[in-house]
Chains A and B, each alone.
Chain A
């Protein structure tokens, strides 16, 4: 099911939380939804679900959410790990949430087992850890087997095994032709999981492209060259219009060309090359570069900068 987000806007007083945001979530893909803190990701998801009122529309296969029946077969959402009554058992919570789609008890048990909560199905979730809360939230989202999943930070509080399970689960879910939009601050995880990215900052769209296209925008995509005559090689490469930075006396970071061309230039100049490696920027590198100007809630730039007395008073 295609999700078309069209010109969503939302203001809180004079603060424009989301501004004319348009993008598409396609079936068969996991779309990562990224942005710095306060960039409007959660607000956008709430607008997409009709929980908050703003302007613009979100169409699910060409129709508004309110025009679909049952709604939970169309979209399942997980916005917070604590959206449950602490005294209502996990099983009762799911039975209640499954009422709109007429979900059976068998399906409730199935989902509890799928997310690994079958052992605490009849326990009250007030004492659940954050990770268990995330699992219950995910169970709620997938209960009616919706064609679209909207997940806001679902990996928060999960241990590495659970994160890997979540990644595999969402990948499999998307491969079955479903649409998945997931926000996360775990960029390394997102890099492994998502194949498309929507990046926003200060409520505005700054990227809507494939993961590879987004990462290729980083200036940290370069080629490491080690040579015994790095100085001469640097001069040759610069003469060809490439960007060169010395990392060590023997190593150069080269931008503007791939390994083949750099190897050819070195060969033509008769310079011995000892190492020639393509270095790809991470999603984190690309994300930080692209959003560095758009952070509303940035910490100090030097985390090591502490008072001489270590801050003690």
Chain B
């Protein structure tokens, strides 16, 4: 397994597109963090005049800016890195070299999954630093950290990891890098909202069981947090099982 991890680490670190995507991810994260801070800094503070008005001191809850790395734009870049794990190998035929080197397929599958998760977690942590720095540089005051803030950040990190695994598995199942990136995006941005809106009368429970909607319920917190998390996890695990079984059974 250690050799497969080295292989995968060398794979991901030896192409320029990885670094380009990381840079784009961090730029997008910083930009979104700045915009979120600007828009929300008046919405959360104490107006200071004793009224209930929303315009006030200009401080922002830490969690609001620091989950900037999970925004739609940033997610595209980080999931592309995840999708490239198998996507590049199938696109360029490298998978045949890889599998002749690692004929036990679960070994390379696991190594790729581990490296992707490590990268996504590292990028998420880095994105929080970037978001924090951007807000600080912009001179926006940040509210003290609470336990709810940490839970919110943890949920956001788990969502990003799960979302990346969905992209990873969809790429493996379709053997197509573009589909691996586009399907989760389309699901979240188009398909699920339309399906939920269109079937709201007949199937009002449907959104709870759609992957990205469930993930977002988990991300947002609230009463349905637990159910959203379980459904999202079920989708991630289900697709992972399908991905692994297909990978093991199909010709390279």
| Chain A residues within 8 Å of B, Cβ to Cβ | 46, 49-53, 65-66, 70-72, 75, 77, 79-80, 82-89, 92-93, 95-97, 99-102, 140
Tell whether, in the assembled complex, residue B251 and residue A97 are in contact, meaning their CB atoms are under 8 Å apart. Answer: no
Nearest A residue to B249 via CB reads A53
For the complex, give the distance between the alpha carbons of A149 and B251 in Å. Answer: 21
A-B pairs under 8 A by CB, number: 80
How far is it, in angstroms, between the C-alpha of A102 and the C-alpha of B10 when the chains are bound? 13
| From B4, B92, B101, B104, contact of A97 by CB (8 A) | B101
- The answer, yes or no, to whether B252 is at the interface (CB within 8 Å) is yes
Asked if B92 and A75 sit within 8 Å, CB to CB, the answer is: no
B136 within 8 A of A: no
Whether the pair A99, B3 counts as a contact (CB closer than 8 A) is yes
Report chain A residues within 8 Å CB of B93: 80, 82-83
Q: A80 touches which one: B15, B17, B96 (CB < 8 A)?
A: B96
Question: Known pairs A51-B99, A51-B251, A52-B251. 15 more at Cβ < 8 A?
Answer: A46-B251, A50-B99, A50-B103, A51-B96, A51-B252, A53-B251, A79-B96, A82-B92, A84-B92, A85-B94, A95-B10, A96-B7, A96-B11, A97-B97, A99-B6
Q: How far is the CB of A153 from chain B (nearest CB, A)?
A: 14
Q: Which residue of A lies closest to B3 (CB)?
A: A100
Contact in complex: A46, B10 (CB < 8 Å): no
Contact between B100 and A77, CB atoms less than 8 A apart:
yes
Mark B1-42 against chain A: 1 for CB-CB distance below 8 A, else 0: 001101100110011110000000000000000000000000
Query: Is the CB–CB distance between A87 and B15 below 8 Å?
Result: yes
- Secondary structure class of chain A's binding surface, majority of residues: loop
Nearest 5 CB-CB pairings of A with B = A92-B14, A51-B252, A99-B7, A96-B10, A52-B251
* Inter-chain contact A72/B92, CB cutoff 8 Å: no
Chain A minimum-CB-distance residue to B12: A96
Chain B residues whose C-beta falls within 8 Å of the C-beta of A65 in the assembled complex: 103
Contact partners of B7 in chain A: CB under 8 A: 96-97, 99-100
Tell me the smallest distance from the CB of A62 to a CB of chain B, in Å.
17
Given the interface contacts A53-B249, A83-B93, A84-B94, does A71 sit within 8 Å of B100 by beta carbon? Answer: yes
Q: Is B227 an interface residue (CB 8 A)?
A: no
A101 to B2, CA, bound (A): 11
Inter-chain contact B100/A51, CB cutoff 8 Å: yes
Residue of A nearest to B102 (CB): A100
Instruction: Please give, as numbers and ranges, the residues of chain B lying within 8 Å of A66 by CB-CB distance.
Output: 103-104
Main secondary structure of the interface of B (DSSP, over half): helix
Q: Contact at A71–B101, with CB atoms within 8 Å? A: yes
Chain B residues, CB < 8 A from A49 = 96, 99-100, 103
Complex interface: chain B residues within 8 A of A100 (CB) = 3-4, 7, 101-102
Task: Report if A87-B251 is in contact (Cβ < 8 Å); known contacts: A66-B103, A70-B3, A96-B11.
Answer: no
Q: Contact: A85 with B101, CB < 8 Å?
A: no
CB-based contact B104/A85 at 8 Å: no
**Please, which residues of chain B bring their CB within 8 A of the CB of A96?**
7, 10-11, 14
1/0 per position for B231-252, CB-CB distance to A under 8 A? 0000000000000000001111
Q: Are B251 and A89 in contact (CB under 8 A)?
A: no
Please provide the chain B residues from 85 to 109 with a CB less than 8 Å away from any CB of chain A in the complex.
88, 92-94, 96-97, 99-104
Contact B17 A87 (CB under 8 A): yes
Closest CB in chain A relative to B95 CB, distance in Å: 9
Q: Given the complex of chains A and B, what is the CA–CA distance between A235 and B36 in angstroms? A: 104
Q: How far is the CB of A187 from chain B (nearest CB, A)?
A: 26
- Report Cα–Cα, A72/B7, bound state, in Å: 13
Question: Nearest-CB distance from B247 to chain A (Å)?
Answer: 12
Q: B14's contact among A71, A83, A89, by CB below 8 Å, is which?
A: A89
A-B contact pairs, 11 of them (CB 8 A): A49-B100, A51-B96, A53-B249, A53-B251, A70-B3, A77-B100, A80-B93, A88-B15, A96-B10, A100-B7, A101-B3
Q: Is the CB of A85 within 8 A of B15?
A: yes
Tell whether, in the assembled complex, residue A83 and residue B249 are in contact, meaning their CB atoms are under 8 Å apart: no
Q: Are B251 and A71 in contact (CB under 8 A)?
A: no
Min distance, Cβ B96 to any Cβ of chain A, angstroms: 5
A23 → B minimal CB distance (Å): 20
Q: Which residues of B contact A102 (CB under 8 A)?
A: 3
Q: Chain B residues with Cβ under 8 A from A75's Cβ?
A: 100
Considering only CB atoms, which chain A residue lies closest to B94 in the complex?
Answer: A83
Residues of chain A with a CB closer than 8 A to B11's CB: 96
Chain B min CB distance to A137 (Å): 9
Q: Is the CB of A83 within 8 A of B92?
A: yes
* Closest Cβ–Cβ distance, residue A144 to chain B (whole Å): 9
Q: Are B92 and A85 in contact (CB under 8 A)?
A: yes
Q: Which of B75-129 contact A (CB under 8 A)?
A: 88, 92-94, 96-97, 99-104
